[in-house]
Structure 1
Amino acid sequence: MGKETTTADLRIEKLAETLVDYSVAVREGDRVLINGSSLAEPLLKEIYARVLQAGGHPMMMLSLPGAEEIFFRHASDEQLKHVPKPLELVIETYDVRISVLADSNTKALSNVD
């Protein structure tokens, strides 16, 4: 028996197709950074597959739910200004970046100055 496709699956597939094929128009050989929260796992996986199908070279960078809130609550001004060297290299090296923002608490940063 084959996998049953749900309406949610079809919407995720269509969104991934739109992002990869139209929004950023991934081409063969493009280096594609895909970053997002593990909360967006189904969409991130579909984007990853779609980039591969388009001939791109995807790299996934996942963040943990709540990590951004911890950073902005506790980071010093110096830490806020700092860009980690590996991130600089990724930004300089990759042709395309797809970011999927997903958080379980949409008001987590509302009280951060």
Structure 2
Amino acid sequence: MKLKLEMGLVQCRISREEAQTLCDDGAINETITLPGGTGYVLAIGTMDDLPAPQFAFDHTGPNFVFYISTEDAKRLASEPLKKGIEGAFEQGYFSIEVNVKDFAPKKKPNPDSL
């Protein structure tokens, strides 16, 4: 699981295996340490019939929580996506993105095609 923080943007990237765990268990979480040593607990949960992804930040503790629909979680576990799922919250934008190319083994170029 990867977390990216920028001004107005919180982006979470998960592997296909993590997406499958999300489907099976309904939630995944992990403690992520960012440069500078700050640790954040990042959690992703599923909800039935959720119209758009939702995001919350618990200011009492370093916790980021994303919710996506159960249907989207199933799709993320089975389909490689380039742009992922995007949504918005009042203070800015966030996206939950699964890009299987980031996790898949790199293909070696075919010497015959060079």
What is the TM-score of this pair, normalised by structure 1?
Answer: 0.29
Higher relative contact order (CA 8 A, sep 6+): 1
What is the TM-score of this pair, normalised by structure 2?
Answer: 0.29
Higher strand content, 1 or 2: 2
Higher helix content, 1 or 2: 1
